[in-house]
Amino acid sequence: MSEKVLHSVITENAGEETKKQFSYMEKAEGYVKDLEKELGRKPTACVVTFGCQMNARDSEKLIGILTKIGYEQTESEDADFVIYNTCTVRDNADQRVFGRLGYVSGIKKKKPWMKIALCGCMMQEQGAIEKIQKSYRHVDLIFGTHNIFKFAELICTMFESDRMIIDIWKDTDQIVEDLPIVRKYPFKSGINIMFGCNNFCTYCIVPYVRGRERSRNPKDIIREIEYLAADGVKEIMLLGQNVNSYGRGLPKEDKMSFAELLNEVCKVDGIERVRFMTSHPKDLSDDLIKVIAENEKVARHIHLPLQSGSDEILNKMNRRYTKESYLALVDKIKAQIPDVSLTTDIIVGFPGETDSDVDETIDVVRKAEFDNAFTFIYSKRTGTPAASMEQVPESVSKPNFDRLLKVVQETAKKRASRFTGQTHRVLVEEVNEQDPSLVTGRMSNNTLVHFPADKSLIGEFVDVKLDECHGFYYMGTMIK
């Protein structure tokens, strides 16, 4: 996507911290100009994002600041400034970052002016920082998830020092609004509605690296969405680790539940589709189901992580629901929103998990008929309660994972074709990667559709007849 939108005006609501950061942006702009003179061209910056939608949104904020201070954005790591926005939810995410750092050190040797920064979830772990200090001395700047708003200030410090700058906060209750953002897509956008997580599922590192749950004020959220709508955004995704617990801790006069917020968001003129991610089954309320059912603007898609179908494992995971209550919730959702698509996350190989526990999970997959399930092998995260439980050997977890995956794929395939022949509203997102005579769009339930049309329709909603189902996507024809 070539079109970029920079949201960088200080509004009258901007707080002291925002104003302070804008003055650092001015200062950083001076440093980037100096570098431009030295290089004889505009310096380039590359942000590499690992992990979830939250990180993708954070990267848009990083790019917003980089653009504001004069960097040209590039996808190539052969840039003048490379920023890795890391994830640490599973060990393979960590390993990928170390792999990139090894690669980029080779580039930096040939470009001594090059700067390298690391941020995001992995940086909130002491072990990772120590390893970088010891083995990756070419890194210039490290910051974490809580002080990302200080990026401009940290860039100034980085330009003023030859040492590795490390600034990690343990937690924060601060939410800094109104900093610049460059959206990846002009017509759709993610929006943080809350930060952090208080659930402490025993396998999960997120509560330790993203801190305690904090909800943004509904007025700030609606103001941002109105701004985005005026700027051409038609589809938004409300983001939080557990959106169903939105609103806890808000001051009395602003108190609002997630169901109420969703309803308010749908009222914003110009916004035609609203998604949200992620829901915790223990907190998904009847009110929320009602708002979705009654409101055509809310996407027909709920991502409802199951994690396991065994009561014993769910208990050890501290998920606070049972197989029975999960299935009852699924039945309730499907009864009230018949055209909904359900997707889920499942972990195999949690400490103590046996073959019969996995049988229970497979039973839920069959009964819930998920449209898709993201399956993961349990990854031990230092500092979480599950790390000190007795681990399952790969000789047990791997065959169970394969068994589960087979059922997930069979179920998804059966489900996928159920819309064949129907006409659905599709948001056109891009030119098809393989065939430029086609465009690719998404249905309300998040399914991809490819169909012949002109690229001028990118960013528009059109009606498309779903001719043929090919597993996870449809081929269609646009209805004029």
Q: Could you tell me the smallest distance in angstroms from the CB atom of residue 387 to ligand SF4?
A: 14
Q: Give the total of residues touching ligand SF4 (CB under 6 A).
A: 10
Nearer CB in complex with ligand 5AD: 179/238: 238
| Side-chain-side CA neighbours of residue 257 (13 Å) | 11
For residue 215, state whether it binds ligand SF4 (rule: CB under 6 A): no
**d(Cα 31, Cα 159) in Å, to the nearest integer?**
7
For residue 202, state whether it binds ligand SF4 (rule: CB under 6 A): no
Question: Is residue 470 exposed (0-12), middle (13-18) or buried (19+ Cβ within 10 Å)?
Answer: exposed
Nearer CB in complex with ligand SF4: 197/228: 197
**d(Cα 142, Cα 136) in Å, to the nearest integer?**
12
Residue number, nearest CB to ligand 5AD: 345
For residue 439, state whether it binds ligand SF4 (rule: CB under 6 A): no
Nearer CB in complex with ligand SF4: 29/345: 345
Please name the amino acid found at residue 111. K
Q: Could you tell me the smallest distance in angstroms from the CB atom of residue 127 to ligand SF4?
A: 19
Would you state the structure tokens that stand for residue 270, as one six-digit string?
């110009």
**d(Cα 209, Cα 196) in Å, to the nearest integer?**
8
* 197 interacts with, out of ligand 5AD, ligand SF4, none, CB within 5 to 8 A per kind: ligand SF4
188: helix, strand or coil: strand
For residue 204, state whether it binds ligand SF4 (rule: CB under 6 A): yes
**d(Cα 65, Cα 25) in Å, to the nearest integer?**
7
Please name the amino acid found at residue 25. M
For residue 400, state whether it binds ligand SF4 (rule: CB under 6 A): no
For residue 242, state whether it binds ligand SF4 (rule: CB under 6 A): yes
Per-residue buried b or exposed e for 248-269, using 16+ beta carbons within 10 Å of the residue's own CB: eebeeeeebbbbbbbbebbebe
Q: Minimal CA–CA distance to 268: which of 231, 322, 307?
A: 231
* 379 interacts with, out of ligand 5AD, ligand SF4, none, CB within 5 to 8 A per kind: ligand 5AD
Question: Taking a C-beta distance cutoff of 8 angstroms, is the pair 186, 5 a contact?
Answer: yes
Q: Could you tell me the smallest distance in angstroms from the CB atom of residue 239 to ligand 5AD?
A: 13
Q: Could you tell me the smallest distance in angstroms from the CB atom of residue 123 to ligand 5AD?
A: 17
| Whole-number Cα distances in Å, 301 to 150, 266, 273, 286, 336 | 35, 15, 11, 16, 13
Would you state the structure tokens that stand for residue 300, as one six-digit string?
């027909």
- Site track for ligand SF4 across 296-315, x = CB under 6 A: --------------------
Q: Could you tell me the smallest distance in angstroms from the CB atom of residue 319 to ligand 5AD?
A: 10
For residue 199, state whether it binds ligand SF4 (rule: CB under 6 A): yes
For residue 197, state whether it binds ligand SF4 (rule: CB under 6 A): yes
Using CB under 6 A as the criterion, which residues of the chain lie in contact with ligand 5AD when the complex forms? Answer: 89-90, 203-204, 305, 307, 345, 347, 376, 378-379, 381
**d(Cα 299, Cα 262) in Å, to the nearest integer?**
11
Find all residues with CB under 8 Å of 243, minimum gap 6, and list them.
Answer: 193, 194, 258, 276, 277, 278, 279
Nearer CB in complex with ligand 5AD: 49/379: 379
Nearer CB in complex with ligand SF4: 49/444: 49
Would you state the structure tokens that stand for residue 255, as one six-digit string?
């108190």
Considering only residues 206, 259, 299, 428, which one is a binding residue for ligand SF4 as defined by CB under 6 A?
206
Nearer CB in complex with ligand SF4: 7/303: 303
* 90 interacts with, out of ligand 5AD, ligand SF4, none, CB within 5 to 8 A per kind: ligand 5AD
Q: Interface with ligand SF4 by CB under 6 A: which range of 21-29, 201-209, 353-361, 426-434?
A: 201-209
Considering only residues 207, 232, 249, 385, which one is a binding residue for ligand SF4 as defined by CB under 6 A?
207
**d(Cα 382, Cα 401) in Å, to the nearest integer?**
23
Residues of the shown chain interacting with ligand SF4 in the complex, contacts defined by CB under 6 A? 197, 199-201, 204, 206-207, 241-242, 280
